[in-house]
Amino acid sequence: MNIVVLAGGISTERDVSIVSGTMACKALREKGHRAILLDVYCGDSRISDGLDRQNGDLNSSGTQKSFDAWFPEEYDTDEAAAYMRSFNGQIAEMKRTRQEFFGPNVLALCEAADVVFMALHGEDGEGGKVQAAFDLMGIRYTGSGALGSAVAMDKELSRKLFAKDGIPTAAGFMLRRDEERRPACENEIGLPCVVKPCCGGSSVGVEIARTQEEYEKALETAFGYEEEVIVEQYIEGREFSVGVVEGRAYPVIEIAPLVGFYDYKNKYQAGSTIETCPAKLEEDKTAEMQRYAEMAYRTLKLKCYARMDFMMAKDGSLYCLEANTLPGMTPTSLLPQEAAALGMDFPMLCEHLIEVSLCGR
């Protein structure tokens, strides 16, 4: 298959997305597919205008020539990733001076591909906007559609839907930048509490506040990313994640940071977290968590695949914190580790996610 692995973008998770995209592209090529790595925002201006479907050359039968030339048999994925990273220092200026989101040749290449493997992370990739554009253009892609992506990205909306459908989740409330901020001891959550951006990912901007001073600092940090933040009950206990593919839960994985909680550093710094899959849990507790993960998948109207994050308090109570509609895709990411516990290696998983996405849409 001719595949565009779409990554990069302008969210706070741009760097993580490039890593996911690079690994997925290599894995798909290992399986014999003609995959190319492309930055959704920066595109690839090195490609000629020959991608214009409306003005492209026609062959003798009057039909469009094959676009296989743009999906070469030999391809340097690391070079493509380096090209993407060359724009990192320019993103802020690009956002200031241009209006369009899709970069040069992005839409034409995505139209030419058999499918787009979504390796985007963060609001501008997981929030449903790209998916909605692709739906309108008839471009096939991996993962959930526009509606499920948008709902899952909004943590406040997700919490409310979880509560409505009987999925246990941490108590909390949303606070807007222009709202009056009461001292933590006077709100319904109190201290300690968790403060995080409403639509962020990879735990960027997430802090645990144990004092009023830390609470105020955490709010300022979170508001540095978004206009709305979530103040949530702090749950002391064990952290877990459960992948759901085609509506069925994968093995539970436990996440045990050596220091602190599962923040951005502990997620992506090698050796900072112990991950155990399958998690060492009693069978009934494993089944309960998997059942809630599948319920959350349905509640948020997700499709194809996703990953749900959980906390288990010291008394054994479970709390579904959020859903990740485009989870990290490196061989050591959580979903691939869960797949490995089922005997599925990373290239097999990448190919499987394409298969279920094409069948489910």
Strands 2-7 and 115-118: parallel
Q: What average pLDDT does this structure show over 154-175?
A: 94
pLDDT in tens, 142-157: 999 999 999 999 989 9
**Helix 146-153 crosses helix 155-164 at what angle (to 10 degrees)?**
100
Question: Mean pLDDT across the stretch 245-263?
Answer: 83
Question: Mean pLDDT throughout 86-106?
Answer: 94
Q: Which of 41-55, 178-192, 326-340 has the lowest mean pLDDT?
A: 41-55
pLDDT tens readout for residues 299-319: 999 999 999 999 999 999 999
Higher pLDDT, 39 or 263: 39
* Per-residue model confidence (pLDDT) at position 270: 57
Confidence at 271, pLDDT banded by 50, 70, 90: low
Q: At what angle do helices 155-164 and 283-299 cross, to 10 degrees?
A: 110
pLDDT in tens, 272-299: 679 999 999 999 999 999 999 999 999 9
Residue 186: the pLDDT is 76
- pLDDT value at residue 284: 97
What mean pLDDT comes out for the span 102-119? Answer: 96
pLDDT given at position 27: 97
Outline which parts of the chain fall under CATH 3.40.50.20: 2-141
Is the predicted pLDDT of residue 97 greater than 50, yes or no? Answer: yes
Assigned CATH class of 237-359: alpha beta
Rounded CA separation 39/41 (Å): 6
DSSP letter string, 217-254: HHHHHHHTT-SEEEEEE---EEEEEEEEETTEEEEEEE
Q: CATH second-level architecture of 2-141?
A: 3-Layer(aba) Sandwich (3.40)
Identify the pLDDT of residue 63: 36
Instruction: Quickly state the pLDDT bin for 56 (edges 50, 70, 90).
Output: very low
Distance, first Cα to last Cα, the chain? 17
Q: How many Å separate Cα 222 from the centre of its chain?
A: 19
Q: What percent of the chain lies above the pLDDT cut of 70?
A: 89
Q: Which alpha helices (H) appear in the chain, and where do they start and end?
A: 14-30, 77-85, 91-97, 106-112, 123-126, 129-137, 146-153, 155-164, 212-223, 264-268, 283-299, 334-341, 346-359
Give the model's pLDDT for residue 59.
Answer: 38
Given the DSSP bridges, would you call strands 34-39 and 2-7 parallel, antiparallel or unpaired?
parallel
Residue with tokens 């998983």: 349
- What's the mean per-residue pLDDT of the chain? 89
User: 310 by DSSP, 3-state: which?
Assistant: strand
Q: Is pLDDT of 345 > 90?
A: yes
According to CATH, the superfamily of the domain at 171-233 is: ATP-grasp fold, A domain (3.30.1490.20)
Region(s) of the chain under CATH 3.30.1490.20: 171-233
Location of each CATH 3.30.470.20 domain in the chain? 237-359
